[in-house]
Amino acid sequence: MKNKSPDTQLAYSIRFYCTGPVGMTREWALNDNITSAGTAVKMMFASMPENMRNVLYDGAVSQTRQENK
């Protein structure tokens, strides 16, 4: 991820989105004995807006690559 702060809307979207997955993960862990963990993660990723996916996913990939050097 670049060392640039996200704009106000993106920062809000990230905070808003990050509170939802916690509840969904809790619901999945406590109540869903059918859906695999991999499928649950894929559904969360697919539900993520593209602008946040670009920031969060691309940033994580970049950081992992730097850590593995």
pLDDT tens profile 13-61: 777 777 787 888 888 899 998 999 999 888 888 888 888 788 777 755 5
Contact 25, 40 (CB under 8 A): yes
Parse the chain into domains and list their residue ranges: 8-67
- pLDDT of 3-22, one tens digit each? 567 777 787 777 777 778 78
Amino acid at 5: S
Give the list of residues 6+ apart from residue 26 with CB closer than 8 angstroms, or none: none
Please give the radius of gyration of the chain, using alpha carbons only, rounded to the nearest integer: 14
- ∠ CA 35-26-50, nearest 5°, is 75
